[in-house]
């Protein structure tokens, strides 16, 4: 078994978590031989096409990020490259050969971080003319940021802001394995995981990993996983 180490250099001060993720990657190899690890520069090209390979042509993600646009592909490359250099972002990938067949991106936020300018992958690089539904995207990002801020309050938390698996590999346990890795990253930091999804609420709730739909807010698609100690102690708030 080979332990792959990312070729990116971290720009901020959480370097120690990088080595932790490498250990996570080592632990996350399934019986199918596919492993979950952090993305490296070699994965970027394949990452720029993972959404159209994973989602139906009329899916919201394909409308917000038109897959045929060169500008969008360049934008994704820039986004992934930038995120990979920041220690508060984790780009977990499952790779078959040289092709990325699954991605889960995580963003860690602490109360001292300005949420308005740093709220996940899509806020890292300015939107382009290729984002033809720019207004809808900006509105969705704003709503997501507001919900995250309101629901998580001042608690440090992770957000899963992208999670897709190539259609050819769906229902093979890759999604579950990537979420397990995300939980292994969040738990030592005693941090909740927040996400907003229209299509995959049932997926997260059925994993039996502690994800719960936000009470009274079901229509917004917010799903939360509280820190591990909260799962263990049902009386804790």
Ligand X SMILES: CC(C)(COP(=O)(O)OP(=O)(O)OC[C@H]1O[C@@H](n2cnc3c(N)ncnc32)[C@H](O)[C@@H]1OP(=O)(O)O)[C@@H](O)C(=O)NCCC(=O)NCCS
| Binding footprint of ligand X on the chain (CB under 6 A) | 54-55, 163-165, 170-176, 197, 199-200, 202-203, 206
- Nearest approach, Cβ of 32 to ligand X (angstroms)? 11
- Nearest approach, Cβ of 169 to ligand X (angstroms)? 7
Residue whose CB is less far from ligand X, 84 or 101: 101
Residue whose CB is less far from ligand X, 156 or 173: 173
Residue whose CB is less far from ligand X, 78 or 180: 180
Strand arrangement, sheet containing 99-109: 36-38, 89-96, 99-109, 157-165, 192-196, 222-225, 211-213
Q: Taken in order 221, 227, 232, 234, is the CA torsion positive or negative?
A: negative
Residue whose CB is less far from ligand X, 92 or 163: 163
Residue whose CB is less far from ligand X, 108 or 211: 211
- Nearest approach, Cβ of 144 to ligand X (angstroms)? 12
SS3 at position 117: coil
- Nearest approach, Cβ of 193 to ligand X (angstroms)? 12
| Token pair listed for 105 | 């991106």
* Rg for the chain, CA atoms, rounded: 17
Residue, CB closest to ligand X: 175
Query: How far apart, in whole angstroms, are the C-alpha atoms of residue 211 and residue 203?
Result: 10
Strands 211-213 and 192-196: unpaired
């Amino acid at each position: 078994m080979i332990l792959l180490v990312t070729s990116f250099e971290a720009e901020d001060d959480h370097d120690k978590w990088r080595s932790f993720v490498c250990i996570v990657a080592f632990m996350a190899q399934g019986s199918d031989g596919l492993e979950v690890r952090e993305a490296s520069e070699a994965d970027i090209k394949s990452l720029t096409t993972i959404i159209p390979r994973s989602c139906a042509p009329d899916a919201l993600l394909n409308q917000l990020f038109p897959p045929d646009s060169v500008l969008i592909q360049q934008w994704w490359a820039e986004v992934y490259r930038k995120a990979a250099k920041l220690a508060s972002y984790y780009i977990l990938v499952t790779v078959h050969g040289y092709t990325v067949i699954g991605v889960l991106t995580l963003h860690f936020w602490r109360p001292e971080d300005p949420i308005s300018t740093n709220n996940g992958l899509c806020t890292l690089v300015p939107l382009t003319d290729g984002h033809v539904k720019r207004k809808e995207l900006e509105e969705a990002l704003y709503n997501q940021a507001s919900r995250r801020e309101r629901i998580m309050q001042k608690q440090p938390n992770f957000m899963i802001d992208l999670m897709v698996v190539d259609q050819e590999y769906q229902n093979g346990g890759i999604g579950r394995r990537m979420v397990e890795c995300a939980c292994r990253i969040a738990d030592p930091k005693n941090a909740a995981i927040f996400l907003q999804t229209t299509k995959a609420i049932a997926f997260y709730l059925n994993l039996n990993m502690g994800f719960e739909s936000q009470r009274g807010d079901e229509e917004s698609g917010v799903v939360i996983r509280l820190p591990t100690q909260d799962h263990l102690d049902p009386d804790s708030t």
